[in-house]
Chains A and B, each alone.
Chain A
């Protein structure tokens, strides 16, 4: 530590040497800053670690989000190409003749038919490939990735004329050692099929290479045959002139009722929108670590300013201006910010290796299938994280920098007067906090589902509580003091006193820990409640004993039809009481594309929990049989639909309205879904395919045993998933837990940053109290007693943080459930309070604080009394 006279001597020396009018040249200022940071090695390391962790979490999540988005873009880009519009079916597909009719009528000219299906390659686990069926004669106008030499004459000829021939990407060919003329086994529509390699798609650049990675290109005839969609197209791509929007209207007017013309943007937008809420949630959560980190930076910087009051006072008397002092402190912050953010970016990229996989998995589970895996590191994420880290550090350092600049060129204020000042600050802070909480609450009242307002309000509430907590901490400490004295004696009285005396800094550390722990409680309560709700919902919804479906790439219900002979075979079995079938498909309604399932389960009214309905279970079933539909809560919330409203569908028989008979709770997809009576569906769509089968077994039959037997005995070329109720539930919960794995990881990281904050604060506190400690030692206080004192102090801090965190966490949980989840995903979660969460949080806070106290305690014990007192 530089003493005042050293500074003065240095200043005089410098002014003599340089004969300079001004003492503090920028260069020496930087030098001074660096020296300060190096000298306070441990503090610097801790604060760097705090910044780095905050940035790392943010970067890793942003990387994951950006990767998922890029994977989506690349996956769709290669598939949409230059198309501006798409004709999509409302139901099972576009009939072949329709396309021919459109072309012959001259309605469309730049039109490309597409048949696409996800397939897997048994030798490569976990990756979806898209079998893209195109008409090579027209497709060149749409997609140019396989231009040039990759489709040589022979390959083109084979692709057209040889059934079952495909073109694969160069990467896939290299990976599997595929050669032109060779064969590849794929699984499509639940069937293992052998395709013949007609050629290798050679990309024209690296981006195209990534996009093509997951593509198997086939002639449309082959694609229809492999996917089992003979006679149907999945969509028709169009390129319409931008300057003439009326063309779209003309085309739509000439389309049969079950076909809709949509812009590519709108279609992709609606798919993207679904995952955006999820991604925004992750981003918000990832900022948490940085927010907690801010407390740490603020705390440490404030400390270092307070500690150097004498020094700054001396510097001021040497002619250093206020501005220079301000820049001195912010300069320190800048250096910390830059180094910390740099480390954070590196760490973030390392963490990203896990987060990218986790986020992609979840998005693939819940929202859309991407066929692109490696997308590289999006540089924007790194820049964004770095900037956020530096700016946050600088921002947090501004109040202490102002404080440093305000020091008068005379001896510094005494500690007691400083803390007296802090006392009034605490009150002002608390008032401000209450104001923030109230404004946060009123932000929630703004109508609409704006998620940004949701998170904004949450931030206001959390910061508000954090600002309120120093005052609460003071009350708690005062309240606890008599009890502490009773239990721990003299030291028990001293510890809260010490904390109260240095409340300007201890309260920041406590607030940081409180926020981190509160978030842990809040998120835990939310996840527990969600899990509980989903379990309840599964209980009610999954009434069959055995479920059969075609495996798909989405955790949601598969849209792939089951071989019709399967039902015939099941009907012959004598262990089955009842067979329920479900037809899931996508149809176009007035609110865009929605998932529609057709069922003829007479108990459907009883097997869903309704938020709102026209009547009891029987009335709902009856209404459905008469043409009503029931819709899931997320769909109702998303599209603002109520019971009694009409759903308008485009059916092959014309546009038809269906009344909403009920809104049921559903957690299968945030996009939402709806149920229709099967006869009603058949009447309008004339499609008798089945995508899922539910079996009720006779009394006394073991579902697991039956499922195994059915799987073995079924005579079909489809690889069907036959699952007993329990194992289906297990699979669903697995997806659930997988979805929240990253959330759990994030809160742990935020807590880690908070622990670092406590550690940093405590060590600073103890350093500051060296002299005091020396005196205590000189007075005969033993090392053991000192240990106890430090542990009491830190334990108290943890306890206070934990106590404050419990109600805060509860409030957060309610906000997460009632505001954030409802707005993001549209579903109602039943609040399920597990008292253990609070206990766990309290323990966490205590342990974190105690662990953080160990190092300072050891350090203090090492000091001899003389050494400590020699401090000045």
Chain B
């Protein structure tokens, strides 16, 4: 999934810089294509000047949960499904993106702490299933003067203003974020430790050496806390998922978007799967899936080892984009079949970039036993083509 998300991140951060240039968040009627149009004119340093992921590295935690500023792009991606005692369900997403805008060799020591080399962007979304409501908002800020950042030591924390995830102890974290309408305050307990994706956390993306990322996940975070929707406060618990990835890489020219799935199954396993869509409608061969076993071991599946079929579609009234909204996922070698459906159809984020990221429920069979589980799906490239933007 790393590649897909780097699509998203790069897109978002380019947009960020451009939007910053507009000094105003876009109103919803602004054309996204128009916003991205000037990115090509930006004199953003070439990616080659940043560090690249060229070989597996040895991670040290919590240090490596912090930012790796020598790479151009990095993100911390939290999603989760929660419910109240009475069974009322909520989904949330809290994501922090980092983008370096000055390559390491061009960085100079400045007297002021405010000098900008890193830009942070964050998205916070909450799905209120019962009321069929979806709340999404965005923050942007400089990774300087203590306003936004990510550090691993002495303890891990990532923050942008008062949206933050702070490590409290071993495998214990506190997450807080709020807007005028919604808020979340939750403690997270990491049940499976750090999952190193790909080869010991080194995730190849393409043919070229260095076209890869470092990728760490926490796929089963026991979550409990409070959420506020409007003036109502709910005690909730559930499961969260975290991805942390950093890279300096560009994507292929023929890719238009991706579909990403992260499912936390009832048999204590998690499935992460993505398909990359090419402009000719085919699925890219770099698409892949990972099954995380109860003990944290992983099983990788390449694009020819799984099938994703779309069963239904949903058209956004806001943007007119048409998204898939019901799927069947099959991994024949595991005898796994899962039907995946969104908890509510409209979980489209119309922030500085338009995409769909929402809570889903899956149920099906694995071998002879039935499995189910909540999860998150991300769909990009439906609002507009991603091609040529980066």
Contacts and interface: CB of A to CB of B under 8 A. Distances in A.
Whether chains A and B associate is yes
B295 to A, nearest CB: 37
Interface string A702-737: 000000000000000000000000000000000000
B318 interface: no
A577 interface: no
Nearest to A153: B21
B42 A147 contact: no
Interface in B38-57: 38-39, 41-44
Contacts of B115: 163, 221
Contacts of A146: 23
A137 B141 contact: yes
Contact of A231 (B108, B113, B178): B113
B112 A225 contact: yes
Contacts of A155: 21
Interface stretch (B74-82, B156-164, B327-335, B348-356): B156-164
A135 interface: yes
A697 to B, nearest CB: 36
A137 B20 contact: yes
A96 interface: yes
A221 B145 CA distance: 10
A139 B159 CA distance: 20
A161 interface: yes
Contacts of A152: 21, 38
Nearest to A231: B113
B24 A154 contact: no
B24 A138 contact: no
Interface in B83-115: 101-102, 108, 110-115
Contact of B145 (A96, A136, A222): A96
Contacts of B146: 96-97, 100-101, 104
A220 interface: yes
A106 B124 CA distance: 15
Contact of A103 (B113, B117, B119, B161): B161
A220 B178 CA distance: 26
Give the one of B20, B24, B42, B144 with max A CB within 10 A.
Answer: B20
A599 interface: no
A410 B121 CA distance: 96
A230 interface: yes
A743 to B, nearest CB: 46
Contact of B41 (A135, A147, A154, A219): A154
Nearest to B144: A221
A576 interface: no
Contacts of B17: 153, 156-157
A99 B142 CA distance: 13
B112 A151 contact: no
A153 B114 CA distance: 20
A111 to B, nearest CB: 9
B284 to A, nearest CB: 30
A105 B162 contact: yes
A768 interface: no
Contact of B114 (A140, A154, A219): A219
B23 A160 contact: no
B301 interface: no
Contact of B111 (A101, A147, A156, A224): A224
A109 interface: yes
A104 B21 contact: no
B116 A221 contact: yes
Interface string A211-240: 000000001111011000011000000000
A160 B145 contact: no
B159 A104 contact: yes
Contacts of A224: 111-112, 114
Contact of A225 (B20, B101, B111, B145): B111
A258 to B, nearest CB: 19
Contact of B102 (A136, A153, A156, A161): A161
Given A154-B42, A220-B114, A100 B21 contact: no
A106 B42 contact: no
Interface string A143-173: 0101110011111110011010000000000
B10 interface: no
Contacts of B23: 136, 139-140, 144, 146-147, 151, 156
Interface in B1-58: 17-18, 20-24, 38-39, 41-44
Contacts of A139: 23
Give the one of B38, B145, B164 with max A CB within 10 A.
Answer: B145
B273 interface: no
Nearest to A150: B23
Contacts of A161: 101-102, 116-117
Contacts of B161: 103-104, 106, 109
A93 B83 CA distance: 47
B110 A221 contact: yes
Give the one of B17, B21, B44 with max A CB within 10 A.
Answer: B21
A554 to B, nearest CB: 26
Give the one of A135, A157, A163 with max B CB within 10 A.
Answer: A157
B140 interface: yes
B147 interface: yes
Contact of B142 (A109, A135, A225): A135
Nearest to B108: A163
Nearest to B179: A109
A137 B147 CA distance: 11
B44 A157 contact: yes
A399 B38 CA distance: 75
A139 B44 CA distance: 22
Contact of A156 (B20, B145, B178): B20
B102 to A, nearest CB: 5
Give the one of B101, B110, B117, B161 with max A CB within 10 A.
Answer: B161
B110 A225 contact: yes
Contacts of A136: 20, 23
Contacts of A144: 23-24
Interface string A120-139: 00000000000000011111
A114 to B, nearest CB: 12
A155 B23 CA distance: 12
B18 to A, nearest CB: 5
B361 to A, nearest CB: 33
B116 A151 contact: no
Given A136-B20, A161-B102, A154 B147 contact: no
Contact of B101 (A100, A109, A157, A163): A157
Contacts of A109: 161-162
Nearest to B113: A96
Give the one of B39, B101, B111 with max A CB within 10 A.
Answer: B111
Give the one of A103, A147, A230 with max B CB within 10 A.
Answer: A103
Given A221-B114, A231-B113, A156 B21 contact: yes
Contacts of B117: 161
A230 B112 contact: yes
A100 B162 CA distance: 10
A100 B120 CA distance: 14
A138 B141 contact: yes
Interface in B254-294: none
A869 B117 CA distance: 99
Interface of B: 17-18, 20-24, 38-39, 41-44, 101-102, 108, 110-117, 119, 140-142, 144-147, 159, 161-162, 164, 178
Given A104-B159, A137-B20, A220-B112, 20 more contacts: A97-B146, A99-B147, A101-B146, A103-B147, A103-B161, A136-B20, A136-B23, A137-B141, A147-B24, A148-B22, A152-B21, A154-B42, A156-B21, A157-B17, A220-B114, A221-B113, A224-B112, A225-B110, A230-B112, A231-B113
9 contacts: A103-B147, A104-B162, A106-B161, A109-B162, A136-B20, A153-B39, A155-B21, A219-B114, A231-B113
